[in-house]
Structure 1
């Protein structure tokens, strides 16, 4: 992931430098924008894996023990319902836009751009399952 950000940075530097020189390098804007999109979606999945994603924790912070584990399981089931929808609709939208082309690089399919959506859905679903299994084990250990 570290190199991914370096590529985005280099692309933006090329874009800024070429504008300064008065040279048009049209592909850099598209590459930077779609690379950033991928970074955001992959980052969202990584935050779920690390259990550091955006969450309202006021209720979870008030309960302890088995109640907390049950609440965590319930919350991850809710999150997983959304990630399954993201996976499903991500596949649909990727297939829909697969034959569309980038404006500045017509050899590139827009499908590659949209592919980050079902990848997010699939990986985040797996991460949710992993967290649910962990919380179920904790729940059983507290019995």
Structure 2
């Protein structure tokens, strides 16, 4: 089966989101280790440590959540979906869940963008715009909104989203 441009774009976005999240986690781990060693030995302290770690953590969480949303792998409680499996209310339940997800993502996008636009502060040590740290909110909101729209469309069509291919499956294709 030939991949369409949209499928290739979706896979590229998925790979980018995973890689970015992993890079944030690795950076956090390295910075924490360096800071612990520096403080324990008394050799040095990192003045900008808190600013960078807080920003990296926020980006890792929100971009990671977008990656999970894309793959339909976020936290779910399956009590009601399991109960409704094969029953007439299953389609309606899926649609309601998809619409609530779309509402959440839209709110994150709109209010995240407003928050970033109104932020004029800079970080205390590095004096970088604080808006850079908060920019993960509207970016994650946009990504989640796009994938929430997909979920609404699939709920209306009453089909299951295909799980996104893993890195191994992508290499095999």
> Contact 1:83–1:121 (CA<8 Å) still a contact in 2?
yes
TM-superposition CA deviations, 1:69-126 (whole Å, max 9, x none): 33111111011111111111101111111x21111211x1100111011111111111
- TM-score (ref. length: structure 1): 0.86
- Name the structure 2 match of 1:85: 107
Mark the runs of 5 or more structure 1 residues left unpaired by the alignment.
Answer: none
Distance in structure 1 (CA, Å) of the matches to 2:26 and 2:68? 20
Mark the runs of 5 or more structure 2 residues left unpaired by the alignment.
Answer: 1-20, 160-173
Distance in structure 2 (CA, Å) of the matches to 1:68 and 1:52? 19
SS at the partner of 1:35? helix
> Contact 2:62–2:136 (CA<8 Å) still a contact in 1?
yes
How many residues get paired? Answer: 137
> Contact 1:14–1:28 (CA<8 Å) still a contact in 2?
no
Runs of 4+ off more than 6 Å: none
Distance in structure 2 (CA, Å) of the matches to 1:36 and 1:6? 11
Whose helix fraction is larger, Structure 1's or Structure 2's?
1
Cα RMSD (Å): 1.7
- Name the structure 2 match of 1:38: 59
> Contact 2:109–2:140 (CA<8 Å) still a contact in 1?
yes
